[in-house]
Amino acid sequence: MDENQSFKSGYVSIIGAPNVGKSTLLNTILGQKLAIVTPKPQTTRNQIRGIVTTDTHQIIFVDTPGLMDPKYRLQSEMVKTAYGALSDADVALFVIDVTRPYPDIEDRILRHLKRVKSTVILVLNKVDLIAKPTLLPIFDDYSQRYEFAHMIPISALTADGISVLLEQIETYLPLGPRYFPEDQLSDLPERFFIAETVREKIMLLTQREIPYASAVVVEEFEKRQTKKSNEIIYIRAIVYAERQTQKQIIIGKGGKLIKRVGELARIDIEKFLDTRVFLEIYVTVKTNWRKDPRKLKELGGFTDI
């Protein structure tokens, strides 16, 4: 715990429709890739917590799944998870994509935000894609729908506006202790980030239903010595598909697709763990895992189903 009486700490939740750039924002704020990012909606499925510590404050940022109209159990768990992150947030960042409104979802989010105690900042993301004057009617529209503490235009991709956003967040943090050691980046286990990295590559390399029907679990994570006594981390990851046909596509002709997934994932995991990695990936079928609460608990990382 910090001795400093003026030290501030708190939780900042990042919420919004799918694909608006919430995970990109988390990564840019942390200066490290923690959350997976793809051009496809519904990439994030869980709360991803990233910790920023300075001499004066500690902020726990919580990235969440994009909110949508849930059609099956996995999606309703994702929605529950996202709204759950608002309950203990000191500040909520409501992220919108300035190039694309999601009227129904955003109306629903705004209604929900009226019931929470957090300070709410509207984050207008992807400003790198538009001409500045285009923002004026958006400011106008949103300020009529909710009393935001601030409305801040940013680009999570280029980091434009991020320092202004962070300055504003700091002003709303309560006095509080340092909850985590100063060098800790997240409270989630390494296995989670490894599984997510593999899932990201599958999402990037497959189409239609497959990105959404895939789950990844790391079954083994073990330090081993090579013959030359160098350290290497052995990882065995299992990819779950819902059907045999999906499994075949993920494996690809002659194992080509899963090999590519492995190559790309290994590069990122080695960077993340800062060590050499031997990654083995198996693909298997778990019928209807997205609809079954017990399987969702096992494969989806949802603890309180």
Interacting residue ranges for ligand GTP, rule: CB under 6 A: 18-24, 37-39, 41-44, 65-66, 125-126, 128-129, 155-157
Query: Which strand (E) or helix (H) includes residue 105?
Result: helix 103-113
Q: Decide if residue 44 touches Mg ion (CB under 5 A).
A: yes
Tell me whether residue 20 is exposed, middle or buried, using C-beta atoms within 10 angstroms of its C-beta: 0 to 12, 13 to 18, 19 or more. buried
What's the closest the beta carbon of residue 128 comes to ligand GTP, in angstroms? 5
Q: Which of Mg ion, ligand GTP, none binds 246 (CB below 5-8 Å, type-dependent)?
A: none
**Cβ distance to Mg ion smaller for residue 154 or 251:** 154
What's the closest the beta carbon of residue 94 comes to ligand GTP, in angstroms? 12
Q: Which of ligand GTP, Mg ion, none binds 39 (CB below 5-8 Å, type-dependent)?
A: ligand GTP
Q: Decide if residue 246 touches Mg ion (CB under 5 A).
A: no
**Cβ distance to ligand GTP smaller for residue 8 or 33:** 33
What's the closest the beta carbon of residue 295 comes to ligand GTP, in angstroms? 21
What's the closest the beta carbon of residue 24 comes to ligand GTP, in angstroms? 3
Residue 196 CA to residue 217 CA, distance in Å, equals: 9
How far are the Cα atoms of 28, 77, 191, 192, 232 from residue 269, in angstroms, in the given order?
18, 27, 10, 11, 12
- Name which of 70, 69, 117, 74 is nearest 92 in CA terms: 117
Report the length, in residues, of the chain.
305
Angular region, 245: left φ>0, alpha ψ -120 to 50, beta rest = alpha
Structure-token pair, residue 130: 């538009």
Give the residue, chosen from 9, 13, 23, 58, that forms a contact with Mg ion under the rule CB under 5 A.
Answer: 23
Q: Which of ligand GTP, Mg ion, none binds 164 (CB below 5-8 Å, type-dependent)?
A: none
- Under a CB-based contact definition with an 8 Å cutoff, are residues 247 and 238 in contact? no
Residue 187 CA to residue 53 CA, distance in Å, equals: 13
- Under a CB-based contact definition with an 8 Å cutoff, are residues 21 and 27 in contact? no
What's the closest the beta carbon of residue 99 comes to ligand GTP, in angstroms? 8
Give the residue, chosen from 43, 155, 197, 214, that forms a contact with Mg ion under the rule CB under 5 A.
Answer: 43
Q: Which of Mg ion, ligand GTP, none binds 199 (CB below 5-8 Å, type-dependent)?
A: none
The angle that helices 256-273 and 190-205 make with each other, rounded to 10 degrees, is: 140
Q: Which of Mg ion, ligand GTP, none binds 81 (CB below 5-8 Å, type-dependent)?
A: none
What's the closest the beta carbon of residue 248 comes to ligand GTP, in angstroms? 26
- Which parts of this chain interact with Mg ion (CB under 5 A)? 22-23, 43-44
